[in-house]
Amino acid sequence: MNIVLDNIGKSYKAGKREVLALSGVSLNVGSGEFVSIIGPSGCGKSTLFKIICGLANPDRGSVRINGSRDYRPGDVLSYMPQKDLLMPWRTVLDNVLLPVKIRGEDLKKGREDALGLFPLFGLEGFESSYPGELSGGMSQRAALLRTVLAGRELMLLDEPFGSLDAITRFNMQQWLQEIWLKLNRTVIFITHDVDEAIFLSDRIYVMSPRPGSLRDCLEVTIPRPRTSSAVIGNNFVKLKEKLIGLLADQLPPSDS
């Protein structure tokens, strides 16, 4: 599953003003790649996801998935927003089965598929639990399991670990890498965390402040699977320095 964004532009109304959110964004993600998008708040990262998902239309440019502009988002991609959005009155199993139920697919098979993945997602034994009984990391794993069960080759993950503490977040990054290596899905990942982008990605796109455009694309050649020792390696440190430099160049000048 590959995706190409070609010269995407998007404006929106803010009161009486027209705000240019995206300007000339072009990127491509190859089948089976893990690509991150990083940039300052308000640069249009989430707007890009909305356009890919069909929740917003670009003013200019096009999105092609497997070479076609005429794709049905629900048939080719799954989207995980920043919050887990688990329904508190449903059990974990019922929550993760929602995509299967919504599409009217074979619920028995969906249940079997879900139960088979619970151990891989670290949720075995919690099938009948409710979201309020889960830790933050477990809730995010349940939300990602729901995204995986949608059965789509392209997954859009919008800062899924942003609300977690540092230790849980790194554990989740290691776990997500393991899941991605096993499932071989194409992933586009939004994050504000430089370390997270490097640890998880094959390539990293760096966006400018609004109006969002692409400043650079960095290759991450650190061998996989990546362990905790990767974050102190020379390649990691050099990439981090370059990314921070690109992002720092975009900050407004200090008044001091």
| pLDDT higher than 60, residue 122 | yes
Say if 255 falls within a structural domain: no
Q: Tokens 């532009």 map to which residue?
A: 9
pLDDT digits (tens, 9 = 90+) for 2-52: 899 999 999 988 778 888 999 999 999 999 999 999 998 888 898 999 999
Q: Tokens 């092609």 map to which residue?
A: 64
How much is the pLDDT for 35? 96
How much is the pLDDT for 202? 96
Range of the domain at 118: 3-248
How much is the pLDDT for 255? 45
Say if 64 falls within a structural domain: yes
Q: Residues 177-204, buried b or exposed e (16+ Cβ, 10 A)?
A: bebbeeeebbbbbbbebbbbbbbbbbbb
Q: What is the mean pLDDT of residues 157-166?
A: 85
Beta strand extents in 96-202 (DSSP E only): 154-158, 186-191
Kindly indicate the confidence band of residue 175, based on its pLDDT and cuts at 50, 70 and 90.
confident
Say if 217 falls within a structural domain: yes
**What is the SS3 assignment for 122?**
coil
> Is there a contact between 238 and 230 (Cβ–Cβ < 8 Å)?
no
Kindly indicate the confidence band of residue 65, based on its pLDDT and cuts at 50, 70 and 90.
very high
9 φ/ψ angles, rounded to the nearest 5 degrees:
-130, 145
CATH number for the domain that contains residue 235: 3.40.50.300
State the distance between the two ends of the chain, measured CA to CA, in whole angstroms. Answer: 49
pLDDT digits (tens, 9 = 90+) for 182-207: 888 999 999 999 999 999 999 999 99
Say if 198 falls within a structural domain: yes
Q: What is the mean pLDDT of residues 61-68?
A: 92
Q: Which two tokens stand for residue 47?
A: 């707007």
Q: Smallest Cα–Cα separation from 4: which of 89, 50, 74, 61?
A: 61
How much is the pLDDT for 250? 62
Lowest mean pLDDT segment, chosen from 26-40, 127-141, 160-174: 160-174
How much is the pLDDT for 253? 47
Q: Smallest Cα–Cα separation from 170: which of 227, 117, 221?
A: 227
Q: How many domains does one find in the chain?
A: 1
The pTM for the full model equals: 0.88
The total number of residues shown for the chain amounts to: 256
Handedness of CA 225, 227, 229, 235 (dihedral sign): positive
Say if 155 falls within a structural domain: yes
* Adjacent-strand bridge partners of 42: none
Lowest mean pLDDT segment, chosen from 47-56, 94-103, 194-203, 245-254: 245-254
Handedness of CA 72, 75, 80, 86 (dihedral sign): positive
Look up residue 224 and give its DSSP letter. S
Say if 59 falls within a structural domain: yes
Q: What is the mean pLDDT of residues 92-104?
A: 88
Say if 152 falls within a structural domain: yes
**What is the SS3 assignment for 46?**
helix
Kindly indicate the confidence band of residue 251, based on its pLDDT and cuts at 50, 70 and 90.
low
Q: Which two tokens stand for residue 9?
A: 């532009």
Q: What is the mean pLDDT of residues 211-221?
A: 93
Cis amide leading into 211 (omega within 30):
yes
Other Cβ atoms less than 10 A from the Cβ of 169: the count is: 19
How much is the pLDDT for 256? 39
